[in-house]
Amino acid sequence: TPRVFSGIQPSGGLTLGNYLGAIKRFVDMQGSGIETIYCVVDMHAITVWQDPDALRRQTRELTAGYLAAGLDPTRSILFNQSQVPEHAQLAWIFNCVARLGWMNRMTQFKDKAGKNAEKASLGLYAYPALMAADILVYHATHVPVGEDQKQHVELTRDIAAKFNHDFKTDFFPMTAPVIEGAATRVMSLRDGSKKMSKSDPSDASRINMTDDADAIAKKIRKAKTDPEPLPESVEGLKDRPEARNLVNIYAALSGDTVADVMAQVGGKPFGEFKPLLADLAVEKLAPISSEMARYMRDPAEIDRILKDGAGRARAIASPVVQKTYEIVGMVGA
């Protein structure tokens, strides 16, 4: 049976990019005979400095976001990474499989480390091997992610292939990234050439999942656009990054295809389109933010859900690590 795994870092608030590119798709994959495992990857978050109290709060807040968006802990396994030590155990094995040359090609490391890579943590550099372990410790077959994680899932396949080759086994599966839908790369509302990101210094560049109705509407009203009305058709969006981004957001929120959306709004000036988008965004997002706030009032319940999920995750992960140790030649395994 197919098994889905994905994760999000609790390294700040959730954005509309995380919601449309990841969480909403996690929810859509739930049920229908597939096993779904969703993780709050706190061990990834600490590859850059996190204040301990903030990390605790963000871990619970991200879990609240998962629940508020519709992930159901009885239908999916929801947990935080550090409660399942098998991720770190398998990551060490993969650190010994992955090659320096592979890691040196990772664009996210280059972006995050910036000019002074000497000051980056060793963990930030090794991060993709831990991500491969997250996925492969469950033998996951499908990984729903946004466009920016494609390279990491491809590296996961390289690690699985080299492990299988070196140890003459077919133990690890080839995992497929699932990068589908209208919003696999949601762009900044201030700059159509930049990804919407929780680390952008401008709060106006993103919609946060905790924003209230007024903030959501205001940010959409103020979103950067060019002066032309929307084109008549999908093809006309090609060289219009800001227009394309807002149409993609509309499509992802409504569940319509981009072509359907263009059939409804093509040719409209932004003065007409933006209020439609703002209404739709408020209708879809405001209930999630109020549900999140409700969950956050009961952190003990969140912790209970994470602990229960961790137990179920370990039941899958532990035999995989045991078997891996045995394949590698560890005595006692």
284 counts as binding ligand TYM under rule CB under 6 A: no
Cβ-in-10-Å burial (0-12, 13-18, 19+) of 165 comes to exposed
Span of 13-21, 93-101, 230-238, 242-250 interacting with ligand TYM by CB under 6 A? 13-21
Q: What is the rounded CA–CA span in Å between residue 229 and residue 247?
A: 12
Taking the complex as a whole, how short is the minimal distance between the CB of residue 47 and ligand TYM, in angstroms? 9
Choosing from 26, 36, 40, 44, the residue that interacts with ligand TYM (CB under 6 A) is: 44
Confirm or deny that 147 is annotated as ligand binding.
Answer: yes
Residue closer to ligand TYM (CB basis): 177 or 266: 177
Catalytic residues: 112, 195, 198
Binding of ligand TYM by 278 (CB under 6 A): no
The residue (of 189 and 266) whose beta carbon lies closer to ligand TYM is: 189
Interatomic CA distance for residues 107 and 120, integer angstroms? 14
Q: Is 219 annotated as ligand-binding?
A: no
Listed ranges 6-14, 275-283, 290-298, 306-314: which one lies at the site for ligand TYM (CB under 6 A): 6-14
Does 317 sit near ligand TYM (CB under 6 A)?
no
Identify which of 68, 125, 79, 92 has the alpha carbon closest to the alpha carbon of residue 285: 68
Q: Does 242 help bind ligand TYM (rule: CB under 6 A)?
A: no
CA-based nearest residue to 317, from 97, 86, 142:
86
Distance (Å, rounded) from C-alpha 142 to C-alpha 6?
9
Site for ligand TYM in 128-187 (CB under 6 A): 131, 134-135, 143, 145-146, 148-149, 152, 183-186
Cα 132 vs. chain centroid, distance in angstroms? 14
**Smallest gap from residue 75 Cβ to ligand TYM (A):** 19
When asked if residue 76 is in the footprint of ligand TYM (CB under 6 A), the reply is no
| Residues 276, 291: Cα–Cα separation, whole Å | 23
Token representation of residue 179:
């990068």
Q: In what order do the strands lie in the sheet with 76-80?
A: 76-80, 35-40, 3-8, 142-144, 176-178
- Return binding residues for ATP: 9-11, 17-18, 146-148, 186, 195-199
